[in-house]
Each structure stands twice: as C-alpha cells, then as structure tokens.
Structure 1
Amino acid sequence: MRTSSILFGVMAALAMTVSQAFAADPALTIVFAGNTYGYYDPCPTCGAQKLGGLAKRSTYLKALRQNPATAGKILAVAGAWEFLPEVSSAPPEPEKMPAVVKAHEALGYDVMAVTPDEVKLLADKKAAPPKGAVVLDQAPTAKIVTIGGKAVGLVFFPMPRDVSAPVPDKLMDQTARAASELRGKVALVVGISPWGALDEETFVNTRGGAVDVLLGSGGGSGFSSRTSKDGKTLWTRAYIKGKTVNRLDLLALPGQPGFAWKVGENFVAKVDPLDETVTQDPAVEQLF
C-alpha cells in the first residue's frame, strides 16, 4: 500500500510538471521511443543519473495518460530497434528478451514497430514479438488508428535489405505513395522509420509533405524536432538506450491551405529524460 501511495504521488507531481511545461491544450500528443537496443534497466553508462529504463518509461506514460490536458489524446509509439542495435549482433542481455517483451507489452503502446532481425532474435530466445507489434516488411505498410476521436494514418517504412547502404529511390517512392493513399481518410499522416538520419532527411526534403510527422530511428543522432525545408513534415528522432522519451504536442493539425509546422505556434517539442525524478513502476520492474 505504501509503495502504491508513493508511486501515485510521484506520478501526480510528474503530471503537474508536464502540464506546466506544456500549458496549451494539444489537439494530439505523440510520445515516441526507439533505439532502445534491448536496454530495460536505467543505462549503466550514462553517469550518476542512471537515465532510462522501461519501468521509468511506464511511470512517464501513466502520468501523461492521467493528465487532463493529454488524457485520451496520446499516440504512444515505440520502435524500431527497441530490442536490437541495428549495427550489432545482440542486445546487452539476450537471455532477458522474453521479459523485455512482457515489459513492452505492459506499457500499452498504441503502435510498436519491430524489424525482421529483431523477430529472429526473439525467436532464438523463444519469445514472440509483443502482441500487436507490426513487423516491418520489404514494402511499406499502412494502418489507421483513432486517437481522441481523430483518424491518424500510420505508414511503416519498409526495411531495406542492407541497413548500411542508402535507401533506394524506389523504396522512398513506394513509401511516399503509401502515405498519399491515406490522404482524405485521416487528419494526420505519421511515418515510422528504421532508416537512420541520413535517409530520413533525404526523404522529408525530396518527397515534400508525404508524411506530416516522421518518427525516426536507426543510425544517427537523436533530436527533439526539425522540419523539412518546405515546413510540411515535422521530424523527430529517438535517442539511444531508452534514456529519454520524445514528445510532440501538436496544437493544430494539418488541413488548412498553406499549413506549415512552426514551433511554438502549432507544435511544441521536447525530449524528456527518464532521470531520478521519474520513479520505477513496480509492476514493470518486477518482470526482471
């Protein structure tokens, strides 16, 4: 009982802090994590703070879901590369993968993307991908979810045969076409990419406005937000090892002629560190 009371108090304080940081009432809030690489505990190489961990991510998400400003309006997305580094053969503790799968399931994402290599890794450890996860294919796939009464189109970028080589133009064109087929059906088109920063930058600047928001993972630096040259695509990239959560508060959605993303005017972006101010969710922590 005491543990539950403490957790509730911390979550309430976190929710209040989040509310103060984002005073405007968002139309939609996107919470994104990727490139976790199989880390489930706070990062052991991140200094004294021990940033990250799935148990802290769970507390963070619960607080947002309880916050009146964002409750019912959150699109929580995870992946790709939540289980496996794209440039390495194994996560830090491969034998923990079944428990890591259960932890990700407990977080209740709206969307999760996993790569074929991650599926193979999990199978080797006698684990299946988290329930409802989308396995990236060699062609783009799309689905529609409803968040806060708004239809959101999701485009899962295809998995290149060689992640170390530039993504072929053909795959970029296929992905842009998959996104265009969602237009008129949804209020927002969100791309979920495992490609890495260089190919994502090429995509947003050469396939103008193909997606409204791009959630990027794979090689390259993480950042809170950038926009394409034409302002039509809002782009955020995950940091590594699960140390942080990327948050986009969309204060307005595209639809009006001439719409372009402008920070502080129609969106606010932030990278929230999962530091000592965020407690571990006991229900997730006990899985390990």
Structure 2
Amino acid sequence: MNPDGTTPDTRVLESLMQAYGLLRYDIGLAGQSEAQTLAGLGIEPEPVRQTAENTPFTVIETASGDRIGFIRFPSLPQGKDIPPQRLIENISRQIRQERASVRLIVALSDWGWVGEREYLAQKPGFVPDILLGSGRGSGVNGRIEANGRCLWVRPYDKGQTVSQIQVQSWPERTASFKWSEPGTIMPTTIGLGDQYDDNPDVSAILQ
C-alpha cells in the first residue's frame, strides 16, 4: 500500500481509517489489495469504503431529489496496468443498464494513470460521465475524454489539493452529447494552503 509496495505500520492504518471516518465521505472505493491488507490486519474501513466485488453500484440522492449513480471499477489483475477488453465490456454493459435510472454516473477507479488513460483512449460505447481515478501516476485537473463524454479527474500524490467539479447541467443521453468547459461542467483544483484550518479531531488522530 506504500508506493514501494510495502505495508504501512498497523497503527498508521488504524489512524487513517479513524480519520477518514471523521471526514464523513458519502462514497468510497476499496481496491482489492487494500481490502485484503486491511482484512488481514483485522482493520475495519469506514462503511462507505466498499470494494467493487461487494458493492459495484451505489446511488446517492441529492437534497433536490436527483439520483447520482456511483460505479466502482474492479481492480486490475495483479501485475497488469491495462484493463482487459472483457472488463471494459462488462463496465460498458453495467453503465448502459444503470444510466437510465440516474441523472449522472460517476466512476471510482484505482487503475492508475496508465490504465485509466488506456481505457478512455479506447472510447467505449458507454462510459461514466465523470471518472474519479486514483492509483499510480500523475494527477489530472479535469480532462474531457472519450469523444467529450467523460470528465477525467485524478488527485495529486502530495495530497494537498481537493478536486471540485461543478456540474452546470445534467448530461443528455443522446449520441451527440459532449461536455463543454465551463458551459456544462467546470472542474477546479483547490490547493490546501494556510488559509484552511486543520480539522482538530483529525489532527489529534494523526499526531
């Protein structure tokens, strides 16, 4: 789970899980190796952090009553950087089935920059409206890919930024639809400088 492939100290992982719980995320993804490591150490992640195998699709309803669908991408096979074609086809099939019931589909991935870039470059017939990537590789501020149908965002490895995505209008389910920036969608990277106070409860855990 460290960049060099080693496992962090158990106390560090326990503290991280407590801190994540205090942040009150609505949705989370546990990659296969992450889930196996935590289970092996007897550490329970916060409830929203689920694997694609256990909870492939989650719907969250906004205060205005709009339904947002979140699809968790299964982790890539061990030692593979490129998603197999069958996996891409399965994801496309799932998106096709689910998108009629929600206003927006957001994908969560731990494939890394290479795997996600290759996936989007293939321009599958059905892609998520937004892909929130993670794993090895550089950050992405917000790049419109797959013939304009998917906004790709990745965090930066220093962890000192937050990605904000403003959806100005819901995507249309037509063949001609394309995101436009800033017309229909506007991604922003916010640097966490000294103007933002630390959460004291989280800071106490991570000391």
Q: TM-score, normalised by structure 2?
A: 0.88
Alpha carbons of structure 1 residues 260 and 268: separation in structure 2 relative to 1, 3 Å = same
Alpha carbons of structure 1 residues 163 and 129: separation in structure 2 relative to 1, 3 Å = farther
After alignment, is 163-172 or 188-197 more displaced? Answer: 163-172
Question: Retained in 1: the 8 A contact 2:164–2:187?
Answer: yes
The aligned length equals 203
Q: 2:182 aligns with which of 254, 257, 264?
A: 264
Question: What stretches of structure 2 of length at least 5 have no aligned partner?
Answer: none
Name the counterpart of 2:69: 153
Separation (CA, whole Å) in 2 of partners of 1:159 and 1:194: 6
Could you tell me how far 1:272 is from its partner in structure 2? 1.1
Name the counterpart of 2:15: 99
Name the counterpart of 2:28: 112
Question: What stretches of structure 1 of length at least 5 have no aligned partner?
Answer: 1-83
Q: Which has the higher contact order (CA 8 A, sep 6+)?
A: 1
Separation (CA, whole Å) in 2 of partners of 1:161 and 1:250: 33
Q: TM-score, normalised by structure 1?
A: 0.65
Q: 2:96 aligns with which of 172, 175, 180?
A: 180
After alignment, is 139-148 or 173-182 more displaced? Answer: 139-148
Could you tell me how far 1:127 is from its partner in structure 2? 1.6
Question: Retained in 1: the 8 A contact 2:93–2:126?
Answer: no
Name the counterpart of 1:203: 119
* Runs of 4+ deviating beyond 6 Å: none
Separation (CA, whole Å) in 1 of partners of 2:146 and 2:183: 17
Separation (CA, whole Å) in 1 of partners of 2:10 and 2:135: 19
Question: Retained in 2: the 8 A contact 1:244–1:272?
Answer: yes
Equivalent AA in structure 2 for residue 141 of structure 1: P
Report the 3-state secondary structure (helix = DSSP H, G, I; strand = E; otherwise coil) of the residue aligned with 2:92. helix
Question: Retained in 2: the 8 A contact 1:95–1:125?
Answer: no
Name the counterpart of 1:79: none
Could you tell me how far 1:202 is from its partner in structure 2? 2.5
